[in-house]
Amino acid sequence: MHSATHSVLLIILIFRRTSGDSVNQTEGPMTVSEGALLTLNCTYQTASLVPYLFWYVQHLNKAPKLLLKGLTADKKEEHEGFQATLVKSDSSFHLQKQAVQASDSAVYYCALS
């Protein structure tokens, strides 16, 4: 059994496209207490009328894998306790998890297509 006082280290990086579109997300390492709410911000700029947003997760010594994709505006996407909603009105796709666990320690990337 894990104590709620254990910390979870999440390392966050910026991922940018080179075609004039851009993504900005929470930067640098952050520590979140186990069981606490996790929010990783992701905003984007694009000329596209139909942006597709993605969250990837990369655990230590593993390849990145797709966590969530936002293809439809204002639709909540959920997977493995994580959730995100593509909000076109404020160009955001913020990632949340209600109760983060030690196994969630990873690098998280927000990407735009």
Q: Please return the burial class of 112, using the count of CB atoms within 10 Å of its CB with bins 0-12, 13-18 and 19+.
A: buried
The pLDDT mean for the chain works out to 87
- Dump pLDDT digits (tens) for 37-79: 999 999 999 999 999 999 999 999 999 999 999 999 999 999 9
pTM above 0.75, yes or no: yes
| DSSP 3-state of 90 | helix
Residue 17: predicted pLDDT:
44
